[in-house]
Amino acid sequence: MVFTWYFIGLLFGLAVAAFLWPGWYLGYGLLALFIAWFGDRWLTLKQPRFIARREFKNPSYQNQPSEVQIFLANSSGQSISVLVKDEPPFVVKAPECQGTIKIPAHEEKNFIYSMISPLRGVFDFGDLNLRRDGRLHLFAYQVKIPLKQELKVYPDLAKLFNGALAGLTGSDAGMRRRLKQPGASGELAQLREYTHGDDYRKINWKVTAHRGKPFINEFEPEKDQNVYLILDTGRMLFDPITSNTSRLDHILDSAILLAFNIQEYGDRVGALSFHSRIERFLPVGKGKSHLQKLINQLFDVQAVMVESDYRSAFNFFQGQVNKRSLIFVYTDLLDNESSKELISYLQIISRHHLVICVLSRQNSLESLLEIPITDEQSAYLKGTVLELEKERGLMVKSLNNYGIKVLEVNPSNIRQSVIEHYNYLKRQDLF
């Protein structure tokens, strides 16, 4: 309860009266104020309560403005002016989350404000706070309406998909067009002139003899292949790049774009994320609705500071997936001791699947390699980083020896590098 200016004016008048006419005037005045307070409270609380709801006008995307609408229904018989104050999540920027609206009798009005979330994920709105004057306008009453609600903030998909095909080479674009032509898997898609580096086994000798120069057959790659995206969300990827961006943010962007690209090529895509336990799993599928399912499964995954259980994750995967698949494993390698279990299980699943290990490099280690040696401490620090890099190189070589392709990329380049490698596999009929 808050005093209004009407009440302060009455109190001031009572003080003046008590000064001019001391004695019983003060007692009568205080009694009158008490009766006014009681009457104001009784008349106000007797009125029907507000009915409130909160709606998000559109899906919320990271770093993009979106609207929040607060609807208030006034079921009383008189017009009411209300101060509305919402409780958005602490990560959300919403400077205009409070304002005043006037609601006519037996009507509903809405209060709209804009918000921007610099982070993706699921966040909680709190309750709705209202302040309104009493019937006699002597006091303002504050009401808290329970209105806790989840806000889902997705990665900026519009920005991602607008640039999805920007880096495709000419041969990639041609492949995409051919895949849209009808024809069964393995059928001849087109003939083209031989270029340096092409597989000579694809030369069409009859056409070559007829034209007087070599031509090769290009076949439509096999479709409906299974591709899985496996995301390690343990401590290996628990380090922010900036206050609002992490390596896992770049990995998630890469996974969503790769899933889009996989579907465009006619293959099926599934996903698994894990740390100390299995976090999310989505079997392979195709189509726009399946891509939306994949986004809904992964949009809010966050890296946590725990050791990843690679044994449980890959045993679970092998129990779920029997058909040979192409697997992109997003993770990182630090040192031999912390990564030996990961390497061991990657080698095991590579016996049955085509495994691509995507290593997202730490920018902090990259910068430490460039520091000049000025004292004993900097020399020790740089020596430690160089030793880690040497171990990393040996681990990558070990994976390569088992036929596991390793893509070592900086977070900012991970999207394009992974898509280009998938396209390369399709062009060369390696999968």
Question: Taking a C-beta distance cutoff of 8 angstroms, is the pair 382, 369 a contact?
Answer: yes
59 & 124 share domain? yes
Name which of 259, 261, 266 is nearest 228 in CA terms: 259
Contact partners, residue 343, CB within 8 Å, separation at least 6: 333, 395, 398, 399
CATH code, domain carrying 147: 2.60.40.10
* Residue range 400-424: mean pLDDT, rounded: 92
332 SS3 class: coil
137 & 273 share domain? no
292 & 171 share domain? yes
The token pair at 27 is 């007692």
pLDDT score at 173: 45
Nearest 5°: phi and psi at 33?
-65, -40
132 & 119 share domain? yes
Question: Taking a C-beta distance cutoff of 8 angstroms, is the pair 358, 331 a contact?
Answer: yes
CB atoms < 10 A from the CB of 154, how many? 19
**Distance between CA 22 and CA 16 in Å, rounded?**
10
pLDDT score at 363: 63
Helix or strand (DSSP H, E) at 272? strand 268-274
Helix or strand (DSSP H, E) at 253? helix 247-264
292 & 416 share domain? yes
92 SS3 class: coil
Domains of the chain: total:
4
Angle at Cα 232 formed by Cα 227 and Cα 235, nearest 5°? 170
257 & 310 share domain? yes
203 & 252 share domain? no
59 & 198 share domain? no
For the ranges 34-38, 76-80, 309-313, the lowest mean pLDDT is seen at 34-38
207 & 355 share domain? no
For the ranges 142-151, 215-224, 320-329, 342-351, the lowest mean pLDDT is seen at 215-224
Whole-model pTM: value is: 0.76
pLDDT score at 369: 64
Question: Taking a C-beta distance cutoff of 8 angstroms, is the pair 111, 83 a contact?
Answer: no
Q: What is the pLDDT of residues 148-201, one digit of tens each?
A: 999 999 999 888 877 554 444 444 444 444 444 333 345 555 677 878 777 777
**Distance between CA 263 and CA 269 in Å, rounded?**
7
88 & 112 share domain? yes
pLDDT of 69 higher than 90: yes
Parent domain of 149 = 51-154
171 & 284 share domain? yes
CATH code, domain carrying 418: 3.40.50.410
pLDDT of 219 higher than 80: no
Which amino acid is residue 43, in one-letter code? L
For residues 165 and 339, the model is more confident at 339
133 & 204 share domain? no
For residues 6 and 360, the model is more confident at 360
pLDDT score at 135: 62
pLDDT of 338 higher than 90: no
CA distances from 396 to 4, 334, 340, 363, 389 (A): 72, 11, 12, 18, 10
**Distance between CA 218 and CA 228 in Å, rounded?**
26
Q: What is the pLDDT of residues 267-308, one digit of tens each?
A: 999 999 999 999 999 999 999 899 999 999 999 999 999 999
